[in-house]
Amino acid sequence: MNYEEYIVKVYEDGDIFWYNKEEQLHRLNGPAVENSDGYEYKAYWINGNLHNLEGPAVIHPNGEVEYWIESKRYSKDDWEKKVQKIKSSTKSLENQEVEVNGIKYKLVPADCEEK
């Protein structure tokens, strides 16, 4: 099993920064920059790029949000269109057959129960 390795720096003021091995801001499934002393600033980074396909990449304490994909800023409407395009262009492998060492397998979702 592959694990994501992080360097996490926690500062006295409550700031938390997550980095990859190349020391780029990076965190999967959560903000790479967050402040926990009541300031409530969060920023989502992937391999040194502001990036979030699930929502705003930057959340300011005053409620202002910023939408970013691969370090390019978008309006909310343009971000939604770009995310839809990215997700629709990703081909689903579900129910496709693959052959490994002469044996054919049907790909099914991981949460599917075998009957």
pLDDT band at 40 (very low <50, low <70, confident <90, very high): confident
Question: How many distinct structural domains can be found in the chain?
Answer: 1
Specify if 2 maps to a domain: no
pLDDT digits (tens, 9 = 90+) for 103-113: 888 777 655 44
pLDDT digits (tens, 9 = 90+) for 42-99: 999 999 999 999 999 999 989 999 999 999 999 999 999 999 988 876 556 667 788 8
- Which tokens in the block code for residue 12? 């006295």
Specify if 113 maps to a domain: no
Specify if 112 maps to a domain: no
* Residues spanned by the domain of 47: 7-106
**For residues 31 and 13, is the Cβ–Cβ distance under 8 A?**
no
Mark 82-93 as b/e (b = at least 16 C-beta within 10 Å): bbeeeeeeeeee
Specify if 35 maps to a domain: yes
81 Ramachandran zone, left/alpha/beta (phi>0; psi -120 to 50): alpha
